[in-house]
Structure 1
């Protein structure tokens, strides 16, 4: 019986997420009560057009249904969006379990690597503080891009040129 309640709540959660993709690029929702509650979200990158966002979320929902059957939680990364659900609340929580941290030193000389890492870390620190503590800042996206899980800056710049 509990499995059927979970499946019902999951279907309703995914339907809710799908219906919001035509009007928003970021959405969170909850479905069910107490031990049967599910949490879900989607986000599309800011530069993605609304129709592409909607298509991406629809594709992610199909992929989750096909690849993650009978799972309490799942995350699906598509080219232009992310879709996630879980039976535990993850809203506002960073989970780096299973992540592999790598530094890409390509195009940065050994002499400049320390400075480059420092600039990246300081930039991310400033962006996270800006997103967390500035009420007027749009928290759904930033001017720093992520590509395949890697942080990308347009070029190596000094701390003062970043203007953050």
Structure 2
């Protein structure tokens, strides 16, 4: 009974040394899909990294990406997290209903890793083994670029 997070968007077998593929149709939940999959039906191991990054941001904030619209700037959770990060206000992203005290350095690191995972270009995202290493260490992280902010039903917008 050890829960695992897997196949958060799509499930498809890769053959041989294949690291990416195209699908015939888009399936999955738009709020978790990488831009390259939602737009071009191109998926890879980096597509799951994108979905994992959204999940990390949801856990920290206690909010869902899909359906979240900030009242002051109309961004979804990704855009809101990016704004807070750029304004050095990332701690404001933390779920206000948490009863337990949080370690600010761990929360900030989780947000930074989440933002690295939701980079618009798959090439800019870390692979999952790097994500695990980043979450389990204390070293400096590379700086995140501005991520893709939201899916509006027909395309991603920043």
> TM-score range with shorter-chain normalisation?
under 0.3
- Greater C-alpha radius of gyration: 1
User: Structure 1 length as normaliser, TM-score?
Assistant: 0.26
Using CA pairs under 8 Å that are at least 6 residues apart, name the structure with larger relative contact order, 1 or 2: 2
Structure having the higher strand fraction is: 1
User: Structure 2 length as normaliser, TM-score?
Assistant: 0.27
